[in-house]
Amino acid sequence: MAYSPAEIEPRWQQYWLKNATFRSEIDPSRPKYYVLDMFPYPSGDGLHVGHPEGYTATDILARYKRMRGFNVLHPMGWDAFGLPAEQYAIKTGTHPRITTQRNIDNFRRQIQSLGFSYDWSREIDTTTPGYTRWTQWIFRKLHERGLAYQAEVPVNWCPALGTVLANEEVIDGKSEVGSHPVVRVPLVQWMLRITDYAERLLEDLETLDWPEPIKKMQRDWIGRSEGARVRFAVEGRSSTQIEVFTTRPDTLFGSTYLVLAPEHELVDAVTSDAQRTFVRDYVDRAARRGAASGLGSRIPTTSRASGRAGTPSIPPPANRSRSGSPTTCSPATGPARSWPSPATTNAIMHSRDSTACRSEKSSRGATSRRRRSPASADPRTAAFSTDSRPVQQSSA
Amino acid sequence: MNAWLAEHGLGEATITYKLRDWLFSRQRYWGEPFPVIHLADGSTVLVPESDLPLTLPELEDYKPTGEDFEAPLARVHDWIETTDPATGAPARRDPNTMPQWAGSCWYFLRFLDPHNTEAAWSAEAERYWMPVDLYVGGAEHAVLHLLYARFWHKVFYDLGLVHTKEPFQKLVNQGMILGESFRYYDDNLSDSANATPRLYPADQIRQTEEGPVTTDGRPVKARWLTAREVVIDAASGVAHLPDCPDLTLERVVEKMSKSRGNVVNPDDVVSEFGADSMRLYEMFIGPLEKAAPWSTEGIQGVYRFLQRVWRALIDDADGQEKLRPLAPGSGTPEQARLTSQTIAGVTEDLEAMRFNTAISKLMVYVRDVAKDAAMPLRGAEVLVLLLSPMAPHLAEELWSRLGHRDTLAYEPWPVADKALLVRDEVTIVIQVNGKKRDELVVRADLPSAEIEVLALASERVQAHLAGRTPKKVIVIPGRLVNVVG
């Protein structure tokens, strides 16, 4: 007979399962090797060829290391909570547990048909009571340490569907399913204080053997910057201050205006009556855009790094006279103007970089009171103040 | 400047992070309920450990109410309404559930001790198995999953529950496997079954905002075909429709999607070629970290390789499967050398996760090892063992046919005979002022001084030096001589 995988393969798969060939136990006499796949969400579509690529790579290493004398831990399980099973339940009334179990059985069959050397006695399913018990136990620990707290945070509410949507389910301000409008509404939610660990999450990356691009993505996400918090006074409102963060406090005296995010709490307070309609309209539009694809209106970030693209800007007030501008802010030593701008940071201070305005700087002393004409507003402002970093707080 | 700000009370130096606190609630049913109760006075109390797990109630209807934006659990009144176990006072459960990230933030620890009912994991298991030595997955989890899991792990570290600061020592992201499809255009805009549309190749089409149009502006529709629906010319690689050889189809390689019909189902591949071919092909397709297109011709290639491996050991010519007669020991010196070189090469490649080149080396080995003399026993066993991590079913089968009764899973990995790894001869490039002018084939262990003498004696080198005395001769043993003059 010629080479016949259809005959050979199921036979050996049975042999491995029956003999628990790949069962692993603690054995201090041998060096250990723990080789792990990112466990799958058992979707109704079953395995696609992308899954076995990683699984084959880890399986080759697992088998190779066993032959090199290592005690190998190579487990598989199911990340089985998730939206598709719930959506299927909404559509058909089938309990997500039933759908999930069916999908797990299918995934297991498919994975076993590829002959991976998993220790199946360690299979886990995140939705079982034996597992969720400990996930809840961990939440207790987080809470006890003050790392879990409740806060009012906006969610994507789709009135037509009558449900809250994850950012990924919202496309251009409409629901992915049915294209219904989505609005942002505040809801009390649980938050985890990952920010307490920002510095350690950053520092310890250095110790890891990870691809450099992934480390960089993590560094960028953590986004550490050194700089200064600066409080600007608002002209004519002695009780109001606008706080900004800048990485370039040395350029403060060159600042010509401040930009407030549309959701900034002071937007209403500093808007002049003349501009109120325009500003309100802009803030509304930004809020709607904010519901779109997780960008825009959200918990503010304070950064100008990372990708910025796409969000259209209100025109810089190039054609508006100074008196028609929304308001004027007066920092300690030099005037700055303020107008609302697209979804940005809490408040970004626009210091102009040296190459762009060397000539202006040379004509402006540190205590200059010169007011910058709106007509010469930097056209890059729009891009500068638009930060399309995906929101991390509320994905699926 | 910071001092100036502080002095004037206008600001102060600070460090900020883009990172924000993690929104951990979802308004969903299918997730972990929060182990808390909310009391009438607005305070929140943790559910006692002894009452865990707090399980999901059954729902009669999963449909959203459409009336408010609360989670589905808010409607399950006999679940939501509860009492404070400490005081008996009325209390409410939390209607939110945890995000899917919660379970994946610590599963690598549960794997250590999955049946433990007393603890999430035991200290003994954690101390022995952690950290994860190799973690492999898609780059789509490069930020959130890895960051969240690292965060929890650091909390566990602070709690004394784990002994390493980081959970995943080495991380590798596999590249995406892309789908291949073929495109042409036609003017059958209404998809009429009776139409006799005009067909257009991609180079006669412009893409516009309204969709694709012909060069003279008529709108057309893109049509997509899978590799199985088209004919691919073996020599030129050009694809065309079976009944329309003049229309050159555009080959498009992109993310697999149902709409393109280019999704490859592993079940189909396994039933047609077998799991070992599937495994081998997924590794042969290119470096693990790089994206690569799936190709049906490619998998046929590795399938043929496995057939060759089978026939190298099994004689099935007369319908019976017999182990071929094998030469004793390591065979000829040339076979012994090739075997040792292959062991060394494959081992090095596996250590570096260069699976595609490891497979190439095995292909060369199968092609060459029995070219001039019968396959030796050691050669056969080494082949089977080296192949076994990648094609384990075939390897186990051949191992048992070689007379072994146990699985090969714990057989010692073959070791190369170092003495045989020395190459007998090497080719050395000779450059004059950095340009290649000649080559020398010399004994691999020839001292540099002798290589230099031979290089300078080369007629071509002398011609290029044109009588000048070299200022300097740089010898890189085994590779290169550069004559500077």
Pick from B10, B65, B120: which is nearest to A231 by CB?
Answer: B10
Of A20, A30, A39, the closest CA to residue B409 belongs to A20
pLDDT category of residue B244 using cuts at 50, 70 and 90: confident
Q: Name every chain A residue with its beta carbon within 8 A of the beta carbon of B69.
A: 155, 157, 163-164, 185, 187
A&B contacts, CB < 8 Å: 484
B211: left (phi over 0), alpha (psi -120 to 50) or beta: left
CB contact under 8 A, B20 and A153: no
Using the Cβ of A30 and the Cβ atoms of chain B, whether some distance falls under 8 Å is answered with no
Q: B160 vs A204, B122, B123, B152, CA distance in Å?
A: 18, 12, 9, 12
Cα separation, B202 vs A298, in Å, equals 43
Coil, strand or helix at A137? helix
Nearest-Cα distance to chain B for A357, in Å, is 20
B99: left (phi over 0), alpha (psi -120 to 50) or beta: beta
Quick one: how far is CA B466 from the chain centroid?
A: 54
Least confident of A50-54, B195-199, B419-423: B419-423
Cα separation, A177 vs A166, in Å, equals 12
Dihedral pair phi/psi, residue A151, rounded to 5°: -150, 155
Which amino acid is located at B391 in the chain?
A
Return all residues near A277 (Cβ < 8 A) that are at least 6 apart.
Answer: none
Instruction: Report, as an integer, the average pLDDT of B143-162.
Output: 96
Q: Name every chain B residue with its beta carbon within 8 A of the beta carbon of A145.
A: 155, 158-159
Residue B172 has a pLDDT of: 96
Which amino acid is located at A3 in the chain?
Y
User: A258 forms bridges with which residues in the sheet?
Assistant: A338, A349
User: B17 forms bridges with which residues in the sheet?
Assistant: A224
Using the Cβ of B266 and the Cβ atoms of chain A, whether some distance falls under 8 Å is answered with yes
Instruction: Report, as an integer, the average pLDDT of B54-64.
Output: 84
pLDDT (tens digit, 0 to 9) for every residue of chain A, 396 residues total?
689 999 999 999 999 999 999 999 999 999 999 999 999 999 888 898 888 999 999 999 999 999 999 999 999 999 999 888 888 888 888 899 999 999 999 999 999 999 999 999 999 999 999 999 999 999 999 999 999 999 988 888 887 776 677 676 788 888 877 788 888 888 888 999 999 999 999 999 999 999 999 999 999 999 999 988 888 888 777 778 888 888 888 888 887 888 888 878 888 888 888 888 988 888 888 776 654 433 333 333 323 323 323 332 333 333 333 333 333 333 333 333 333 333 333 444 443 332 222 223 333 333 333 333 333 333 333 222 323 333 333 333
Query: How many CB atoms neighbour CB B207 within 10 A?
Result: 10
Using the Cβ of B406 and the Cβ atoms of chain A, whether some distance falls under 8 Å is answered with no
Q: Which residue of B has its CA nearest to A184?
A: B69
Whether A388 and A295 have beta carbons less than 8 Å apart is answered as: yes
Chain B 217-256, CB below 8 Å of chain A: which residues?
A: 256
Using the Cβ of A20 and the Cβ atoms of chain B, whether some distance falls under 8 Å is answered with no
Q: Which residue of A has its CA nearest to B146?
A: A218
Of A89, A155, A80, the closest CA to residue A123 belongs to A80
Under DSSP, the state recorded for A299 is: S
Query: How many CB atoms neighbour CB A132 within 10 A?
Result: 25
The interface pTM score, or ipTM, of the predicted complex is 0.84
Residue B94 has a pLDDT of: 95
Q: What is the DSSP string of A252-282?
A: GGG--EEEE-TT-TTHHHH--GGGHHHHHHH
Least confident of A249-258, B40-49, B216-225, B337-346: A249-258
Nearest-Cα distance to chain B for A181, in Å, is 14
Under DSSP, the state recorded for B120 is: S
Q: What is the sign of the dihedral through the CA atoms of B352, B354, B359 and B362?
A: negative
CB contact under 8 A, A124 and B114: yes
Using the Cβ of A120 and the Cβ atoms of chain B, whether some distance falls under 8 Å is answered with no
Pick from A67, A114, A117: which is nearest to B266 by CB?
Answer: A114
Q: Which residue of A has its CA nearest to B29?
A: A86
pLDDT exceeds cutoff 60 at B240 = yes
pTM of the predicted model, to two decimals?
Answer: 0.78
Using the Cβ of A179 and the Cβ atoms of chain B, whether some distance falls under 8 Å is answered with no
